[in-house]
């Protein structure tokens, strides 16, 4: 099960109480105060993990609490610190404060850690209050409470390329042909129910690879919750290039230009920044002998918005090499993409 958003509660450990005690030892009159300090409460730390690719492990375990510090003891013995708690999260997780909406941290690397809640300080024992004028203090402090937060964790996949388009536009077929990913492919809408990632090798002698993300199809009114909505668009927010797949076959029963405009409108309703991301328009299913006017209309509409159109057939392989070259030229414009002999 792919879970990309959860809400959890974290509670760092409270500090231990300070102790009130007086030294009682034979032949030592007026031993004085000897109450030790309480231990510090445990912290709660979030750590990026390459062994997790979903937030499913938080779905049925939303409460996380670190251990409190031990209380201080006599003979100036300090209480031990509470054991901290480390929670693994997938790389690409964004942490928000649920109450304020503030973004607290963004996990973009595999070795990152973030202390999200700090344990409370231990209370001082009465020995800490002794002075030359106050030699038998009875004051001592309770431990301080640890931080408590309600968090919203949101997973955004890390990929170089994001695939967009209507259901059955050929996104899953394309990623299955270009990479080793094996998403479900069928001839009915919304076959893809969760994002898929695939590694694509680009042409050239340096064996350069990029990561491609396939997300469920978008339909008109997705920003209002129609179909599967636009919540999956978060998974292409980090991409550097968008591939907008449009079915130009006559059997789709749809207008390619209208589909193209609808997806752009839904994209803009989700994020103005994402709508400005570099994009290639990909005319798919050329193997079905499309009407030249349908293809020409799409190319004209894309050119009017400043987008290049690449024509492909994922089934026959036509145009895939040209598509890879176009991807390489946009992702690595300064390095070029030399062809393999």
Last residue of a domain, one of 139, 155, 171: 155
The pLDDT of residue 127 is 93
Tell me how crowded residue 150 is: count the other CB atoms within 10 A of its CB: 14
Last residue of a domain, one of 155, 170, 185: 155
User: 226 lies in a domain?
Assistant: yes
**Which domain, by its residues, includes 72?**
1-155
Pairing assessment for the beta strands 308-311 and 279-284 based on DSSP bridges: parallel
In angstroms, rounded to a whole number, what is the distance separating the alpha carbons of residues 96 and 103? 4
Query: Are 209 and 270 members of one domain?
Result: yes
Percent of the chain whose pLDDT exceeds 90: 43
User: 339 lies in a domain?
Assistant: no
In angstroms, rounded to a whole number, what is the distance separating the alpha carbons of residues 168 and 266? 17
- In this prediction, residues 238-244 reach a mean pLDDT of 90
- Residues 123-174: tens digit of each pLDDT: 999 999 999 889 889 999 999 999 999 999 998 888 889 888 888 888 888 8
Length of the chain measured in residues: 341
**Beta-sheet strand order (sheet of 85-90):** 85-90, 44-49, 113-117
In angstroms, rounded to a whole number, what is the distance separating the alpha carbons of residues 301 and 257? 7
Q: What is the pTM for the complete model shown?
A: 0.75
Reading the block at residue 166, the tokens are 């209507």
Last residue of a domain, one of 111, 130, 155: 155
* DSSP-based three-state secondary structure for 172: helix
**Beta-sheet strand order (sheet of 5-11):** 63-65, 5-11, 148-155, 93-97, 103-106
The pLDDT of residue 186 is 52
The domain tally of the chain equals: 2
* DSSP-based three-state secondary structure for 182: coil
């Amino acid at each position: 099960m792919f879970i990309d958003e959860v809400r959890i509660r974290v509670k760092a450990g409270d500090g231990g109480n300070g102790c009130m005690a007086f030294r009682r030892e034979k032949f030592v009159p007026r031993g004085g105060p000897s109450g030790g300090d309480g231990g510090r409460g445990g912290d709660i730390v979030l750590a990026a993990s390459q062994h997790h690719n979903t937030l499913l492990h938080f779905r049925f375990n939303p409460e996380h609490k670190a251990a409190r510090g031990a209380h201080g003891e006599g003979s100036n013995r300090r209480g031990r610190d509470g054991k901290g708690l480390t929670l693994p999260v997938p790389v690409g997780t964004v942490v928000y404060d649920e109450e304020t909406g503030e973004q607290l941290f963004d996990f973009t690397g595999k070795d990152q850690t973030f202390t999200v809640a700090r344990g409370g300080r231990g209370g001082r024992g009465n020995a800490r209050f002794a002075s030359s004028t106050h030699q038998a203090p009875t004051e001592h402090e309770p431990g301080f409470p640890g931080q408590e937060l309600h968090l919203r964790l949101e997973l955004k996949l890390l990929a170089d390329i994001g695939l967009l388009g209507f259901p059955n536009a050929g996104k899953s077929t394309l990623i299955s042909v270009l990479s080793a990913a094996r998403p479900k492919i069928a001839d009915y809408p919304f076959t893809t129910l969760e994002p898929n990632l695939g590694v694509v090798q680009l042409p050239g002698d340096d064996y350069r690879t990029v990561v491609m993300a396939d997300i469920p199809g978008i339909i008109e009114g997705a920003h209002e919750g129609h179909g599967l909505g636009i919540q999956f668009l978060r998974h292409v927010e980090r991409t550097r290039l968008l591939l907008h797949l449009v079915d130009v076959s006559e059997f789709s029963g749809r207008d390619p230009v209208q589909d193209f405009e609808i997806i752009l409108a839904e994209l803009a309703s989700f994020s103005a920044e994402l709508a400005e991301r570099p994009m290639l328009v990909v005319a798919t299913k050329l193997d079905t002998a499309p009407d030249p006017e349908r293809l020409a209309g799409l190319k004209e509409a894309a050119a009017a918005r400043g987008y290049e159109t690449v024509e492909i057939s994922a089934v026959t392989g036509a145009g895939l090499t040209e598509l890879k070259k176009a991807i390489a030229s946009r992702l690595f414009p300064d390095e070029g993409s030399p062809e393999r002999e």
